[in-house]
């Protein structure tokens, strides 16, 4: 088992649709490459960010019930 840091990223609503989230995510991927075998995340199924993760190359590897009782996707990006 590899210990990995946990990180949350977000973009303010007033700054969305400007490619900021995509640039942050790509920078995170570049930084993690060479240090970790993969990046894992979970995101609520109805969160628009799930589409961003798919566009960047994350794949859905599972689903889980989140704290709010809804469904979250478990996504992975192999480095």
Whole domain around residue 23: which residue ranges? Answer: 13-78
pLDDT, one tens digit per residue, over 27-69 is 999 999 999 999 999 999 999 999 999 999 999 999 999 999 9
Any domain includes 68 = yes
Instruction: Look up residue 30 and give its two tokens.
Output: 């570049």
Count Cβ atoms below 10 Å from residue 4 Cβ, excluding itself: 13
Q: Kindly report the CATH number assigned to the domain that includes residue 65.
A: 3.40.630.30
Any domain includes 7 = no
Count Cβ atoms below 10 Å from residue 30 Cβ, excluding itself: 10
Any domain includes 71 = yes
Q: What is this structure's pTM?
A: 0.87
**Domains in the chain, number:** 1
Any domain includes 50 = yes
Task: Determine the pLDDT at residue 2.
Answer: 63
Q: Is it the case that residue 75 has pLDDT exceeding 80? A: yes
- For CA atoms 17, 8, 38, 69, the dihedral sign is negative
- Segment 11-21 shows an average pLDDT of 95
pLDDT-based confidence at 6, cuts 50/70/90? confident
């Amino acid at each position: 088992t590899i210990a990995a840091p946990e990180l949350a990223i977000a973009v303010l609503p007033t700054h969305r649709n400007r490619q900021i989230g995509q640039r942050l995510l790509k920078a995170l991927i570049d930084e993690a490459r060479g240090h970790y075998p993969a990046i894992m995340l979970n995101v609520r199924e109805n969160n628009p960010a799930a589409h961003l993760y798919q566009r960047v190359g994350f794949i859905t590897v599972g689903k889980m019930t989140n704290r709010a009782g809804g469904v979250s996707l478990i996504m992975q990006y192999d480095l």
